[in-house]
Amino acid sequence: MQRDTLVFDLINQELERQRHGIELIASENFTSLQVMQAMGGVMTNKYAEGYPGRRYYAGCEIVDQTEQLAIDRLKQIFNVEYANVQPHSGAQANAAIALAVLQPGDVTLGLDLSMGGHLTHGSPVNYSGKLYNAHFYGVVKETGLIDYEMLESQARALKPKLIICGASAYSRDWDYKRIRAVADEVGALVWADIAHPAGLIAKGLLNSPFEYCHFVSSTTHKTLRGPRGGVIMMGKDFENPFGLKDNKGNVRMMSSLIDLAVFPGIQGGPLQHVIAAKAIAFGEILTDEFLIYQQQVQKNAQAMAKAFVEKEYNIISGGTDNHLMLIDLRNKNISGKKAEQALVKADITANKNMVPFDDKSAFITSGIRFGVAAVTTRGMVECDMQFVVNAIDRVLLNAESESEIATVKKQVNEFMEQFKLYPEL
């Protein structure tokens, strides 16, 4: 077969884009070379429907070992009883939890997408809002913090079957204990989606949800710095409280129902090359080096937030506990869309984002979200955040000036020279 130079040329262009730019999309990161190599390896060729030791295909003895290693390492990272490493993505992990727990029409209660929540937590454009009777809580307008009183009153009024905590654009820690208390009062299960802060939780830098939440889902490619994918965990396996049955009519432990919901519920063959890469990433997370990385992520986020506040940017909730921050740009007279477009011209990548109580649509937005997990992997420390914030500020103040933006782009490209990315490639 002739080498497809067209596609490989595009892959090389993408590598150069990643090398030269400042990556501030809060859901992105750079995997280690060994994680990436596993994803491009021969395990992509293997079909392995089922679970280790219980497959529907022959020849799974070796992929059984990588999958079991991934499961064991993930359980060790979070000190949990159950882990499923097969979800192809965070959205798939979330769909499996919903399938295991809910019947169509059941009531759910999650954080509103426009307040920082996630599509799969009940948005009307997603299966989670189409199949289930999704309701929402928000944040307090004055503080930007989760409105726990609203969550509690909604829970008491609606009696949801499932309460969802977790967010895509929320910079503060969660009070899982308080959410579990109201869930117990109204007979709901609690699910935490920790896709964004998982790396910080893994190293004990944020509250752990496992004691209080029945289910925890995550992606593996954000702060966990692994391959693109999802996982589901439970601190403790438990009998299913709603008496849900498998296809043979047996009431099973929740671990069996979650396994069945992932496969054959919503997926076919697992991505064994990605599962091998997850196993490698989980091994990296177990090291002290990863603790130092996560501590630096938190320090960088705080240094960035401070630099923005000094320039009178309005960070929702006033700061950050994790790796990201959401900025309301209304006092800077620029929309999120315009800001994103101007920044990308200067090789600074971030995404527009609605802010709580936004008066603009999701396509325009009043806000922009910045995360530091990726730039911290590149090697940036607190003092580098000042350069980054200065560059962003200059672009946003001069969003109509092609020459100013071109000057910033040159500075950004020169600045990024010192932070090597995949020098082996």
Does 29 contact ligand DSN by CB under 6 A? no
In contact, 388 and 368? CB cutoff 8 Å = no
Q: In terms of CB distance, is 46 or 121 closer to ligand DSN?
A: 121
Structure tokens at 252: 């099973």
CB 371 within 8 A of CB 322: no
Which single residue is written with the structure tokens 């309301």? 328
Q: How many residues does the chain have?
A: 425
The answer to whether 60 and 270 are in contact (CB under 8 A) is no
The structure tokens listed for 55 are 């497959």
118 counts as binding ligand DSN under rule CB under 6 A: yes
Examine residue 223 and tell whether it contacts ligand DSN (CB under 6 A).
Answer: no
Between 168 and 302, CB nearer to ligand DSN: 168
DSSP E strand stretches across 138-291: 162-165, 189-193, 215-219, 230-234
Task: Establish whether 49 is a catalytic residue.
Answer: yes
In angstroms, the CA 366 to CA 201 distance is 29
Q: From residue 66 to residue 95, what is the string marking binding to ligand DSN with x (rule CB under 6 A)?
A: ------------------------x-----
The H or E element spanning position 291 is helix 288-310
Which of 51, 370 has the CB closer to ligand DSN?
370
Catalytic-residue membership of 347: no
Interface map 161-180 toward ligand DSN (x if CB under 6 A): -------x------------
Least CB distance to ligand DSN at residue 219 (A):
7
Q: Which of 21, 22, 23, 27 binds ligand DSN (CB under 6 A)?
A: 27
Q: Site size for ligand DSN, by CB under 6 A?
A: 4
Which listed residue (228, 332, 338, 352) is catalytic?
A: 228
175 is a catalytic site residue: no
Among 219, 220, 376, 377, the one annotated catalytic: 219
Q: For residue 271, what are its two tokens? A: 């991505």
CB of 119 or CB of 244, closer to ligand DSN: 119
Alpha carbon distance 19, 412 (integer Å): 11
CB of 12 to ligand DSN, least distance (A): 25
Strands (E), 245-366: 314-315, 324-328, 348-349, 351-353
Selection from 200, 232, 238 nearest residue 216 by Cα: 232
Report the nearest approach of ligand DSN to the CB of residue 356 (Å).
16
Catalytic positions, please? Answer: 47, 49, 193, 219, 222, 228
The residues of the shown chain that bind ligand DSN, judged by CB under 6 A, are 27, 90, 118, 168
